[in-house]
Amino acid sequence: MNIASIGIDLGKTTFHLVALGERNKILLRKKFSRSQLLAYTANLPASLIGLEACAGAHFVGPRCANRVTRCG
């Protein structure tokens, strides 16, 4: 499974992750708690991660930044 980009919908207690392949085909849709999300993204290869602009992005963004090729 070659993940090209990841979109994360941030919430207070749950986070929804959608991973897209190189041809923009959905490879994965999962719901995580905050700790589960951070543990899951720690084991992913470097890829583009898109986050919405909200207060939660200030928490999740820096923790994912060392695992991405570009944060947008």
Residue 44 has a pLDDT of 80
Closest CA to 30 of 41, 43, 42: 41
Closest CA to 8 of 56, 67, 49, 59: 49
Residue 72 has a pLDDT of 45
Residue 69 has a pLDDT of 46
Residue 71 has a pLDDT of 44
Q: What is the CATH number of domain 5-20+29-71?
A: 3.30.420
Residue 29 has a pLDDT of 96
Domains of the chain by residue range: 5-20+29-71
Where the chain has pLDDT below 50, the residues are 68-72
